[in-house]
Structure 1
Amino acid sequence: MHIRPRLNRCFSRKNKLNQTSRAPFPVPMGSSSPSPSPEPPQSSAPADGASNASLRWHILRRALLSRSASPRASEGTSNDPQEKGDTNKISRKTSRSFNLFECHTVPISQLNKSQGDSLNGNENGVECQRDVYVCYKLPCGGSPELNVIYRRDDSLELNDIEASNRFNIDTTGLVCCWPSEEVLAFYCINHSDMFRSKRVLELGAGYGLAGLVIAASVNAGEVVISDGNPQVVGYIQQNISINAETFGQTKVKPMTLHWDQEHASDMLNSFDIIVASDCTFFKQFHQSLARTVKSLLKHSETSQAIFLSPKRGDSLNKFLDIIKEYDLCYELIENYDPTVWNLHKSYLAGDDTSWPNYNEEHCYPLLVRITFGDFV
């Protein structure tokens, strides 16, 4: 018998909350808002003796120069494999994931005309040149496929950052599909019964992989895929459009949802299940995230929020402390899926070296179940 290690917490305290307005998502570059907690030190120094801080400056420099139109840009980028290897190890942006889904890149020409019309521009447009289309084969009955549009690696542009500062939104949803999102999607497929005929909301969805997987594979009644960045929501809309035939009778829609704003009355306490991945890192948004969950989750014995989040220092624990203040109960589960758990152990032990910057604190998501009542 496989026993899952768990840590249960159920708290009830009088709600004493700071109601000051907070930003809905992590602070964009250039913001004057408080910085996130420092990351834990690396276990060893890079081979060339460079500090972690200097390597992170190399990452920023390489990204900016790669986007430059100057003919001298290539002169400023290093071809030294040692430097590139060190920056890949120190980077928190993963170049891979748990590889839980069979997937491959889809050429634009393979998308049919009706799908192409709903994409970012046309095949020769700037938007299509910076996008990549990935086809996922889902490990469930009928093996449905999803086409998901992403930005290409290192395609973040200056106007993205300017928009972040102007509208107080975040750009992390444009960077990549983070490992926690992939794990959340995989978990939802393996627990499809809990979503059947339910109204589901994904918070901070990025490109929306988990929400799209739920819509395509679990026979949910309705799936709302949300993010606070309108640019990201534009991608979500496109991904919904090009996969519409995969959703069957499930209603699917995108939504721009800021955690610190008032929510429409028809949304209050109306969702049976709320899901989110890697949304607890920035502590200054814990209050607004917890308030959003409590406001939108249906008051029912069967309603719940499912979060997949790495520890990221003490950030996850701080969020769980906030959950207590909102009279919500939580259950923290470390080993929630044997496939994910075995991969995690393999990366930690060094048996699988394909993920060179794998770090338990930042890469392995813990599962948090949040409800209004006690766990049985």
Structure 2
Amino acid sequence: MEAKTNTKPSSLRWAILRQALLRKTRESPDNQSPSAIKRISRKTHQGFNLIPGQVVEDHVNEESNFRDVCICYTLPVDGTPKIFVRQRVNNGVDLNDFEVSDRYNVDNTGLVCQWPSEDVLAYFCLSHADMFRSKRVIELGSGYGLAGLVIAATTEALEVVISDGNPLVVDYIQHSIDANSTAFGNTKVKALTLHWDEEVTYNISNTFDVIVASDCTFFKEFHNALACTIKLLLKNVGRSEAVFFSPKRGDSLDKFLEKIEENGLQFSITENYDSEVWKRHQGFVAGDDTWPSYEKDHCYPLMVRITL
């Protein structure tokens, strides 16, 4: 058993950066245990695997010199439609990523991988297509945007905006929108670089019926801006709501919900919201070896519904 470390999180993050830049994935940073780094990064190759996907293309991106892959997701609904998502190969990172993060005051987690909560969100949207039909929908902090693409392709939404604050991520979203353009029918779909602040969101305020997001509450410094953005974007007439899927991650979700209340919004939390997701969660808790590092607090997304 490895000993616990008392190293500060900032030191651990620099250790992660050192690993990425040296590209020595088998080497643990000096005096840091692999479990300590995992505690900070929380990057995972495991997931709920609710929507099966396989790599159908692998090539070097001429603009970034990273290896990109195109993943074909087969949606478990009538007609078995397919969605193609372009993303980087896991572990791809360079100094430009951190420069962009610093310049725009955003994190770069959207470039890391398709996160498990996004898979759960996309599956939930498939199972509840009626809530999006003829609605204007926006996905916040979407990363590679699987959920937004699923909504656009299967729910007959009026419009779907797939957004992220990192312009490098948004470039990937636009590639995926272009690759799936024939799957959207009459639904308008666009990518958007969206920062969670009042100045940027003013021109689209009070226009969306539904907001969706997954695992966007980890960074506490963004909590208030995210709560304000939700309030600005939701329609203030008729029925509108934001649906978030977020693990507790210590007290991060609780702290975010405090900001939700401070901004005059209401919320409800549901733990068991889908029988299939719950069954897989229980299997992981019981020790299913397909996800050996599974921890409920950090891995299982609760459903939070937010209203004006």
TM-score (norm 2): 0.89
Contact kept, 8 Å, 2:137 with 2:208, in 1: the verdict is: yes
Q: Structure 1 residues 191, 61: CA separation in 2 closer, same or farther (over 3 Å shift)?
A: same
Higher relative CO (CA 8 A, sep ≥ 6), structure 1 or 2?
1
Cα distance 1:62–1:330, how it changes in 2: closer, same or farther (>3 A)?
closer
Q: Aligned residue for 2:220?
A: 283
- Match of residue 247, structure 2, among 299, 310, 324: 310
The equivalent of 2:301 in structure 1 is 365
Number of equivalent positions: 304
Q: How many Å apart are 1:52 and its aligned residue?
A: 7.7
Instruction: Show the 5 A alignment for 1:135-174.
Output: 135-174=72-111
CA distance in 2, matches of 1:164, 1:123: 23
Q: Give 1:130's aligned residue.
A: 67
Partner of 1:268: 205
Partner of 1:353: 289
Taking a change above 3 Å as real, the CA distance of residues 194 and 87 of structure 1, as seen in their structure-2 partners, is: same
Kept in 1, the 8 Å contact 2:194–2:201? The answer is no
Output the CA distance in 2 between the equivalents of 1:321 and 1:306: 16
- CA offset digits 1:306-365 (Å, max 9, x no partner): 000110111111211221122222111000001111111111111x11112211111100
Q: Structure 1 unaligned segments of length 5 or more: list them.
A: 1-46, 109-121
| Structure 1 Cα separation of the partners of residues 219 and 256 of structure 2 | 9
- Report the alpha carbon displacement of residue 145 of structure 1 after superposing the two structures with TM: 0.5
1:253 pairs with 2:190: yes
Distance 1:101 1:56, change over 3 A: farther
Name the SS of the counterpart of 1:262 in structure 2: helix
2:166 corresponds to: 229
2 CA distance for matches of 1:327 and 1:74? 48
Structure 2 unaligned runs (5+)? Answer: none
Within 1, Cα distance between the matches of 2:142 and 2:25?
37
Q: Percent identity?
A: 52
Q: 1:294 to 1:86 in 2, by over 3 A?
A: closer
- The corresponding residue for 1:102 is 52
3-state DSSP class of the match of 1:200?
strand
CA 1:270–1:87 in 2, change beyond 3 Å: closer, same or farther?
closer
Q: CA deviation at 1:90?
A: 8.2
- How far, CA to CA, are the matches of 1:106 and 1:280 in structure 2? 32
Name the CA distance, whole Å, in 1 between partners of 2:67 and 2:184. Answer: 27
Contact 2:132–2:157 (CA under 8 A) maintained in structure 1: yes
> Judging changes above 3 Å, is the alpha-carbon distance between structure 1 residues 356 and 222 closer, same or farther for their aligned structure 2 residues?
same
Deviates more, 1:357-366 or 1:88-97: 88-97
CA 1:52–1:94 in 2, change beyond 3 Å: closer, same or farther? farther
CA distance in 2, matches of 1:90, 1:259: 23
- For 1:206, the equivalent position in structure 2 comes to 143
How far 1:77 moved relative to its partner? Answer: 3.2
Structure 2 counterpart of 1:331, from 257, 263, 268? 268
Q: Is the 8 A contact 1:348 1:358 kept in 2?
A: yes
Q: Is 1:311–1:362's contact at 8 Å kept on the other side of the alignment?
A: yes
Q: Partner letter of residue 52 of structure 2?
A: E
- Cα RMSD of the aligned pairs, angstroms, is 2.7
Q: Give 1 or 2 for the bigger CA radius of gyration.
A: 1
